[in-house]
Structure 1
């Protein structure tokens, strides 16, 4: 029964909602100054700076305004614009569209927004794939499905939905696919990447299955259920066994392997 204590079916996970961007008083203050300063010359900015300094002195006398983040940001922005126009040619007026600092911030904002959008798309893809794999589990056809790129993250999502309970059938499915080089695991790069995406028991299970398959090529998956049990209960021992079997296979395949050499030396 999945999840533990639940029925055989479960509702689909809620769709991912776009997170709200946190309010940044300092950024708001700088933007207010820039909108107000558009078209101002050096004299007008200097007057606005003096006004901001006066307001800051007044605020410093009140404890409830001592931590005015927006006010400090506005003062700092007026000071920056004052210096910017002081360094510019006489008669220059402020234009945010030609302000390198503003343009750099806008570019950073656009990049951050694109990254957030990409994260949302990936989260939606993972949720949809998790729904698909869950449906296949309920139909009993998960083992017949080949994994896709990114299914390691889908495994994590299914585990999260189950309240953190390890999903043994999904782990076994991924381990078998990795050992047999199915789906995206046909690519060696995908198998290498999985080492940092899957937990040690799954990786150990896959290594042990691969070693056993080389030892007994005709063995059926159902005959190697013990590999999953061993990898889960004793991952270090299972890993050592997989390494030992792999070494034995390599030595058996190589006529000049160390074991053969020792045998000839002792003869």
Structure 2
């Protein structure tokens, strides 16, 4: 595009901006002023360059292209992650139907799969899934073997699941031989009074440390 062509486009943009200003429904439209500002920028750019506009050498256009490409990559990554979460949620649903969920070790990202199952259920808490994650977190199974995963769980799981896990871990330290079925009350307490259950877990942990 030459300087003269850009100047003509700028004049057109000014014309349409004047037309739009006469209509209330178009006066607040931001596209017109943005287009006008862009043509003004291009005309000024050509005035300083050799008179020929090439978008491939326009730093602003190149920055926009880089930003658009990065945004597209983020959308694709989000779509891939959404698909992965949906597949894992299907796996967990199949395992629970088979009665094998409690024998399964959690993987990285299962917190998102838990959220997907809850969403599919219309927001209702999935007690068996929450209990499974709490027990795995308390016993440090699957990806919860790593401290980083356990720390991350604090921001990925709801308070009742976290307090359930903390209470189970504290009880297991006090009574190592206790069976999971003997501590069903831990989940009930965590669901009903998560803050109180968390305080109880902290108290039991302190009592255990003082006895050591």
Pick the TM interval, shorter chain. Answer: over 0.9
Q: 1:87 aligns with which of 48, 68, 73?
A: 48
Distance 1:145 1:218 in 2: 21
Q: Is the helix fraction higher in 1 or 2? A: 2
Distance 2:79 2:10 in 1: 42
Relative to 1, partners in 2 of residues 1:87 and 1:136: Cα closer, same or farther, differing over 3 Å? same
TM-score (norm 2): 0.93
Which residue is equivalent to 2:128? Answer: 169
Q: 2:8 aligns with which of 12, 25, 47?
A: 47
Distance 2:24 2:168 in 1: 69
Which runs of 5 or more residues in structure 1 are unaligned?
1-38, 254-267
Distance 1:62 1:163 in 2: 45
Encode CA deviations 1:213-251: one digit per residue, 9 max, x unaligned: 111111111111111111112222211211111111111
Distance 1:59 1:233 in 2: 60
Distance 1:249 1:65 in 2: 71
Which residue is equivalent to 2:161? Answer: 202
Which runs of 5 or more residues in structure 2 are unaligned?
none
Distance 1:221 1:64 in 2: 66
SS in 2 for 1:210: helix
Distance 2:101 2:193 in 1: 26
Q: 2:98 aligns with which of 136, 139, 143?
A: 139
Relative to 1, partners in 2 of residues 1:72 and 1:202: Cα closer, same or farther, differing over 3 Å? same
Which residue is equivalent to 1:128? Answer: 87
- Number of corresponding residues: 212
Q: How does 1:73-112 map to 2 (within 5 A)?
A: 73-88=34-49, 91-112=50-71
SS in 2 for 1:165: coil
In the TM superposition, residue 68 of structure 1 has moved relative to its aligned partner by 4.9
Relative to 1, partners in 2 of residues 1:61 and 1:237: Cα closer, same or farther, differing over 3 Å? closer
Farther off after superposition, 205-214 or 46-55: 46-55
Distance 1:225 1:200 in 2: 17
Farther off after superposition, 135-144 or 219-228: 219-228
TM-score (norm 1): 0.75
RMSD between aligned residues: 1.6
Relative to 1, partners in 2 of residues 1:168 and 1:92: Cα closer, same or farther, differing over 3 Å? same
Structure number, greater radius of gyration: 1
